[in-house]
Structure 1
């Protein structure tokens, strides 16, 4: 990474030959990864361990307590504009129960997990993990960002001054 950073090379994660894909990747990242894990750089074993614990807790919050609405179809208003129709918001846990595809044992197992979870405690755990990640990664990330910014400014300055030639 240092080699790439020294040369002002930035990595992106888009699919090849899909020029409009980056926005999709970032919108998916923003849903959970950027919202809960922020934009900091995590590259040590301690940070990865904290991230793994964070994702476990975030998964419980998103699957058991975060309701989502799903598109069900389209309709038209009086002026002929298409409008998306959505169902009632439900958590993924409740959608799974309503689907009727689980055995009784699986339903009981999920219900037991649901009863054990305290939403307030879950939120406190998320905040604790986030605070630990910030304290471990903030300085390093800001140092890298400042270094890249200073290199970028130097590069821009070279561009604006142009090529110097010896006056005759």
Structure 2
């Protein structure tokens, strides 16, 4: 009997975009079980807390799980390689949008291979309709009142609108994310 192929798709997912979801769907075809690792990554100053981001990702993948696709969502705040090994993953899935992503991802893959050569990194190119989407741009457009419907699901767009309205009520400048004057 062959060993079950477990893959990890890590990210901050602040918020999860249609591009992330596209990679999740495609990655799930390559492994028997896909674990979406939601990184705490406080250094990036996320808009949503880790539990909120986990919940957003769980909501997005629920239709896949309902179809019998083996996907789960887990938070992590450790070294990616430690997380992957703890999940018994043999592959780390990374998405590439543009050439600018490649250098960073190439370096990370090399470091991860040094840490544990038993875990492979697999790169999936973003679909052409998602190559320009980034969580950072989605947040910026949404914060400034732009239409983000093409970049995130309706659920995520609603949660972003709620968060921006909450921030506005609390005196946080919607243009910068910082305190108002």
Q: Flag whether TM exceeds 0.5 (same fold).
A: no
- What TM-score does the superposition give when structure 2 sets the normalisation length? 0.26
More helix, by proportion: 1
More strand, by proportion: 2
- What TM-score does the superposition give when structure 1 sets the normalisation length? 0.27
